[in-house]
Amino acid sequence: MDSEKRWIRKIKRNASDAAANELVSKYYKEMYAFVYKQTLDSELSLDLTQEIFIRVLKSIHNYDSKKATFRTWLYKLASNRLIDFYRSKSYKDVQRVEPIEDYEFEDEYDMTISLEYKEDFEKVTTLVNDLDAGSQRIIRLKLFGEYTFQEIASIEMIPQSTVKTKYYAALKQIRKGMEVHHG
């Protein structure tokens, strides 16, 4: 039996802190990266990653290894947390536009690229947040979690063809939204 399953059993059985720490540290960097790619904000990503793991440990007794790998279950929880976050009032209140001084630019050229990216990123984020939760999860897992259609199909428990259809429909919607902005 691999160490991960052993940790999960220990946590379920006797809330083992040591096992919880092992499990969290195994996935911490990966989760942080997944969240960071969707927020571009390191403080916020640390907070959200922390919350995701708290949620994971609280609901680990619901985790069923027959249904999904732990990593898959973790990404599903994380995607849901991001969806909740972006729907939450706190996010809407802090539509932060960071002061330019925060960046250390090499030269003017870099600055425009970064700002354009930041601006595009915020538009993409807004457009992603307009999608229904199922489509959001698919987009988040595919674009930011780098999951395959096959893997997403098993996470969402829907046929792969449905995943593809939803994914391309969502992408089309996002592209259309981007054209409106750039038009």
Q: How many residues does the chain have?
A: 183
Q: How many CA atoms lie within 13 A of 73 on its CB side?
A: 17
Q: Tens of pLDDT along 85-108?
A: 888 866 666 555 444 444 444 445
State the Cα–Cα distance between residues 123 and 181, nearest whole angstrom: 8
Q: Is the pLDDT of residue 172 over 50?
A: yes
Work out the average pLDDT over 105-120.
58
pLDDT on residue 181 = 62
Q: Tens of pLDDT along 5-42?
A: 998 988 888 888 888 888 888 999 999 999 998 888 88
CA-CA distances (angstroms) from residue 168 to 115, 138, 172, 173? 27, 10, 6, 9
Q: What residue type is 95 in one-letter code?
A: Q
Q: At 145, list the tokens.
A: 């979690």
Cβ neighbours for 139, distance < 8 A, ≥ 6 positions apart = 128, 131, 167, 170, 171, 174
Q: Where do we find the tokens 């780098």?
A: 146
Among 72, 80, 70, which Cα is nearest to 137's? 80
Q: Tens of pLDDT along 39-83?
A: 888 899 999 999 999 999 889 888 888 888 899 899 999 999 999
Q: Tens of pLDDT along 147-169?
A: 899 999 988 889 999 999 999 99
Q: What domains, with CATH codes, occur in the chain?
A: 1-96 (1.10.1740.10), 106-183 (1.10.10.10)
